[in-house]
Structure 1
């Protein structure tokens, strides 16, 4: 996460109403050493090795005669239709669109907002405002208009006919960013699936490609009685896309099976799981690096993380748990992406605890929380135990942080950049993680050190004593480990003093 945008840190005042008693140390601590590098940044050089060059067109010739052109994002003008909410909400949405456009590699020249009760069905903005937008495009020398909504195919064509430059919508922009940032095989397959699902209803043929091809056996020279209406070009492309979608879904299902196997293996060993979720650019990867030293990529840009990262961590009392960093969410996240990334987002639904990271310095943090919870509800993760982690506390307004902490039942403020509040967060995670609750009293032979190791990893050791026959111990463990220790259980009535 780049810190070029940070102002000088403020020192908020602790509040006696803090339900966890950790707010003061989380906000006011200044003893941490500030480090501009979160982890080892393993992916930074690879990510920055290839960049778009300003001024070069990325529009490819359409060899299929169907409109499937790559986005040309160089010099763009933003456009928004404000239909509900306050003017501040509408402006924040357009600022977020500007950040998305810059992440995709464009230069934002101007932004326009139109107040309407509902978008115009023909040109989205309305014909008069579309003409004004054309004048701005000409004056600024822009080559693309980015609309802050998902446009119907007819609306995009109608607007393009007036402004005379390429028009794309918010969904296409987000899909383009995902396509740039996907690295793993699963991530690339998920993004391609989302792109094809978005493209399918927007296919458009040109000229003679819409005419019917010869069908039947006419191609072989047989004439009368053998001419049939063959597939049109657009039908052929639609069929090919549907075939590709079916293949991608099969591949993602196979990769999901592998992911499920690993997740079930962790659960079988009684390892609790903690998922890190939240709005894009809220600092999730920075928090993962602070908690585990994972060294994953951290950049001050939207959707820097697309591929799930799983790392092991320990509580202060030695219990192991897994931390999973997930893709960030955003307002109006395309449904195609939610469907495509469903297998990845299931990591959140199956977690024992959710760290919901919020950017405390954002103009509308409560709006971020609502948007993330809406996506979590779509993937059946709304019932997971949640801790609101208000990040970037070193640059956030103290009143905003205090407002969130008072409103949310389980919340804590931290700074992944400076380290403030991280120790308190680890303690809170340890308190909220499920604890093994099956009591065992066993005499474990010395040649079964593996069982002792598992007790230390996933159980809670109450006491132990070394005897001639093995290690006598009392502990709380999970069901699987209790079943394995049953053969070494000490019969009732053979109580022995246990060393602490």
Structure 2
């Protein structure tokens, strides 16, 4: 069976590198390199040095010239690094050339994110999505990743007990490629089964007519903490990039009495590899199918505008920008500078200030959710004969019962009623 192994635990020290080729990209490149350092640290690898450099021109072999490449390789050795991590996307041939030059493990941003995702995925769907993305990434790198593959076919060489001839090696790679394609096809089939199950579950939710909101935003903006605060649940929430990959849905009650399903989605990141966007579309589907979005921003981040734009770009690619968006400036309790607060208000004039950690602003957020969904429900008074227990059960099951009073042989019920059952209750309506 084709399998991509985890990075060896001996990888402890990293040199991170970003090459840029336009002077106008220096500031953005510096910010991306800092983010790469955070991603690498999330894997438990120490970043011992960062290199941000502008080669004279792009070269096919190393991206940069051989002199600059040798300089970077020597720097990595001087710091006793185990791995060189590039923020640039490296072609398989370029990875091989860098590893020959440095005699070190060399990976790029995409492989870092894939490894993080592999560690964070918990549900079957998320694990399948990660597996698919990793196999698609590894397929053109089979020669490089020879030591990271399990092969059912014998690949131990000839009778000499060790050497594998070039001809045999070429045949073995073909076998590995065939096994890889079979594994990818199997993974896609299994994912399709999981997606059908998700679709069935979603249809059951839609039958109930309960509105649905999705929490979206850049990774580590505080989305899971906000879900915990709103719902009283205990979704994993840590101060790290991609603390959780799995969507989590909780049911809460809004101030006007109506129920709401609220879902925490996987965080976005700049330069998210396209294959990961594709692989995680089933997870991100919650954003597309929700009635509205809660866009959470980290108020403390100097790159808040870039993070805001990145999230909107991914949402646009998913076709999810046609719905109401409530913008939340989270972690506002940690912003003490008056000028910074004024800049945030100018940049995001309609945003709500909040601290999901301490609960500040959550009441205002819930009220805004009610306002967005105001046309989805109606609050009504019903007079129901006591013998019609079926109607009372329907209200308790599919509506939000606010009060119940008994008057002779009738039951007076005040309830928030979704459109899906309103028609069945018309004969019991009390005129306003």
Shorter-chain TM-score range: 0.7 to 0.9
Q: Distance in 1 between matches of 2:392 and 2:52?
A: 67
Structure 2 vs 1, CA of residues 436 and 477 (structure 1 numbering), >3 Å: closer, same or farther?
A: farther
Structure 2 vs 1, CA of residues 399 and 474 (structure 1 numbering), >3 Å: closer, same or farther?
A: same
Structure 2 vs 1, CA of residues 454 and 202 (structure 1 numbering), >3 Å: closer, same or farther?
A: same
Q: Distance in 1 between matches of 2:130 and 2:374?
A: 34
Give 5+ residue unaligned stretches, structure 1: 1-62, 214-230, 491-495
- Contact 2:258–2:377 (CA under 8 A) maintained in structure 1: no
- Contact 1:318–1:456 (CA under 8 A) maintained in structure 2: no
Other-structure match for 2:151: none
The correspondence for 1:353, drawn from 292, 309, 329, is 292
Q: What pairs up with 1:326-365 in 2 under 5 angstroms? A: 326-365=265-304
Q: Distance in 2 between matches of 1:255 and 1:209?
A: 43
Other-structure match for 2:360: 420
Q: Distance in 2 between matches of 1:298 and 1:346?
A: 21
The correspondence for 1:178, drawn from 112, 117, 120, is 117
Other-structure match for 2:154: none
Structure 2 vs 1, CA of residues 370 and 78 (structure 1 numbering), >3 Å: closer, same or farther?
A: same
Shift in Å, 1:204: 1.4
Other-structure match for 2:14: 76
- Contact 1:361–1:395 (CA under 8 A) maintained in structure 2: yes
Q: What pairs up with 1:190-201 in 2 under 5 angstroms? A: 190-201=129-140
Shift in Å, 1:477: 3.9
Shift in Å, 1:78: 0.4
Other-structure match for 1:211: 167
Give 5+ residue unaligned stretches, structure 2: 147-162
**Range with bigger deviation, 397-406 or 74-83:** 397-406
Shift in Å, 1:236: 1.4
Shift in Å, 1:254: 1.3
- Contact 1:80–1:148 (CA under 8 A) maintained in structure 2: yes
More helix as a share of residues: 2
- Contact 2:18–2:88 (CA under 8 A) maintained in structure 1: yes
Higher relative contact order (CA 8 A, sep 6+): 1
Other-structure match for 1:247: 186
Shift in Å, 1:456: 4.4
Other-structure match for 1:399: 339
Q: Distance in 1 between matches of 2:64 and 2:232?
A: 48
Structure 2 vs 1, CA of residues 372 and 436 (structure 1 numbering), >3 Å: closer, same or farther?
A: closer
Q: Distance in 1 between matches of 2:355 and 2:207?
A: 34
Q: Could you list the per-position Cα deviations for residues 297-356 of structure 1 after superposition, in whole angstroms to 9, with x for gaps in the alignment?
A: 121111111111111111112111011111111111112211111111101111111111
Other-structure match for 1:436: 376
Q: Distance in 1 between matches of 2:362 and 2:325?
A: 17
The correspondence for 2:215, drawn from 272, 276, 279, is 276
Q: Aligned-residue CA RMSD in angstroms?
A: 2.8
**Range with bigger deviation, 259-268 or 477-486:** 477-486
Shift in Å, 1:484: 2.6
Other-structure match for 1:320: 259
Q: Could you list the per-position Cα deviations for residues 119-156 of structure 1 after superposition, in whole angstroms to 9, with x for gaps in the alignment?
A: 43210232121111122112111110000021111221
**Range with bigger deviation, 472-481 or 287-296:** 472-481
Other-structure match for 1:145: 84
Q: Could you list the per-position Cα deviations for residues 87-144 of structure 1 after superposition, in whole angstroms to 9, with x for gaps in the alignment?
A: 3322211111011001011011000011147643210232121111122112111110
Structure 2 vs 1, CA of residues 118 and 294 (structure 1 numbering), >3 Å: closer, same or farther?
A: farther
Q: Distance in 1 between matches of 2:352 and 2:14?
A: 39
Residues 1:379 and 2:315 are matched in the alignment:
no
Q: What pairs up with 1:60-99 in 2 under 5 angstroms? A: 70-72=6-8, 73-84=11-22, 85-99=24-38
Other-structure match for 2:93: 154
Q: Distance in 2 between matches of 1:121 and 1:483?
A: 68
Other-structure match for 1:221: none
Structure 2 vs 1, CA of residues 141 and 497 (structure 1 numbering), >3 Å: closer, same or farther?
A: closer
Q: Distance in 2 between matches of 1:235 and 1:120?
A: 29
Shift in Å, 1:437: 5.5
Number of aligned pairs? Answer: 408
* Alignment TM-score, normalising by the size of structure 1: 0.75
